[in-house]
Amino acid sequence: MVEEITDANFDEKTGQTGLVVVDFHATWCGPCKMYGPIFEQVAGENTDVKFYKMDNDANQKGKDLGVMGVPTTIFFKGGAEVDRQAGLMDAVTLKSKVDSLKVTNVNTGKPLNTSTP
């Protein structure tokens, strides 16, 4: 199950090493309810990535980040936003974004060198 985070622990959770994915949602949002199981599924398939959910109505952080509509998915590396997607994504699209961002150097935009010297 994906952990729900709040303003109080947002910086700690999104500042972790590696890729962190946050689903900004609202309890009243129909598309958010449809996206929840998709987000959970992709999280379960990517145990090397941290996935979190945040209620955009109950927390200020989403507003500070300019989240204007829900669902919005924001991708972080080392506490910095590296990508975002507003709206509902299917599992294939979300997984593709996660896979791409896992292996991309956010400073250069180029694939990480996974070979060892």
Q: Would you name the residues annotated as active-site residues?
A: 29, 32
For the chain, the three-class secondary structure string (H helix, E strand, C coil) is CCEECCCCCHHHHHCCCCEEEEEEECCCCHHHHHHHHHHHHHHHHCCCCEEEEEECCCCCHHHHCCCCCCCEEEEEECCEEEEEEECCCCHHHHHHHHHHHHCECCCCCCECCCCCC
